[in-house]
Structure formats: structure tokens, C-alpha cells
């Protein structure tokens, strides 16, 4: 199945991306609960792009990770980067006045979670959910 690239640059693109991701996931799998969780991850990553970087992209792909079939959701932005990744992954930590549950929640939902960030360059979050 072909990967899905969603460009995120405003609230409308977030909504459109969620619709496209739902349609893409409908073709990939039948488990409604897992689809719902993956859409939650997509939406959270998209909102983070808008909130912190203004624009970026999210890739959804059926692939293999460590030899296992999975769905990968990868977000990439050219924003300011994350100064302290360990803080950003802590429950209730927020630099924008939110609940601070986004990245920690994504990490719990997904089977594998990777984050790379460089100040002044941007952030890449790669997540994998085994099928």
C-alpha cells in the first residue's frame, strides 16, 4: 500500500489530514480501536506542528520495524526544536499552557517511539504500531 503524506500548515489542513488518515487506515486494517488510537496519534502530532512549528508534514506508512509488520506515523517540522526532550516526554510538562499529555500519551499508545530534535532546526517524531 502506498504511503500517505499530509502537509500540515493550518487548522483546516489538520482536519483534512485526519480525514485522509482515516481513509488510509480503513484500507490498511479493520480493527476500529487501533484505527482510533492511530488517528489520535496523528491528530496530536498535527496539533503539535501547528502549535510549535507552524508547518510540517506527517507520513503514514505500512512498513516493517525490527522485522515486524507495522504502521509508522512520522512527523517532521522545521520549527524551533525541543530544548529538553526528557521534559517534553514527562507527564504534565508543557511550554504552552496545555495539559502536557500529548507526547507521553503518544509514547504509551504506540509500540515504538523515537524523537530527534535540534534547536533551530526542527523535530522528527517516528512512531510504530505493530499489526
- State the residue for C-alpha cell 500517505: 4
CATH of the domain at 46: 3.30.565.10
At 36-86, the pLDDT tens digits run 999 999 999 999 999 999 999 999 999 999 999 999 999 999 999 999 999
At 19-49, the pLDDT tens digits run 999 999 999 999 999 999 999 999 999 999 9
State how many domains the chain has. 1
* Residue 1 to residues 17, 59, 69, 84, 92, Cα–Cα distance (Å): 18, 13, 12, 36, 37
Whole domain around residue 17: which residue ranges? 4-130
Q: How far is residue 104's CA from residue 14's CA, in Å, rounded to a whole number? A: 20
Amino acid at each position: 500500500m502506498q504511503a500517505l503524506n499530509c502537509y500540515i500548515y493550518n487548522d483546516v489542513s489538520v482536519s483534512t489530514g485526519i480525514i485522509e488518515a482515516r481513509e488510509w487506515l480503513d484500507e490498511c486494517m479493520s480493527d476500529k480501536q487501533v484505527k482510533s488510537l492511530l488517528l489520535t496519534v496523528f491528530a496530536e502530532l498535527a496539533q503539535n506542528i501547528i502549535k510549535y512549528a507552524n508547518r510540517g508534514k506527517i507520513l503514514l506508512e505500512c512498513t516493517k520495524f525490527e522485522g515486524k509488520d507495522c504502521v509508522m506515523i512520522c512527523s517532521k517540522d522545521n520549527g524551533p526544536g525541543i530544548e529538553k526532550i526528557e521534559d517534553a516526554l514527562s507527564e504534565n510538562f508543557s511550554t504552552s499552557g496545555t495539559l502536557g499529555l500529548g507526547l507521553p500519551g503518544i509514547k504509551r499508545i504506540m509500540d515504538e517511539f523515537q524523537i530527534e530534535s535540534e534547536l533551530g532546526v526542527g523535530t522528527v517524531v517516528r512512531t510504530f504500531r505493530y499489526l
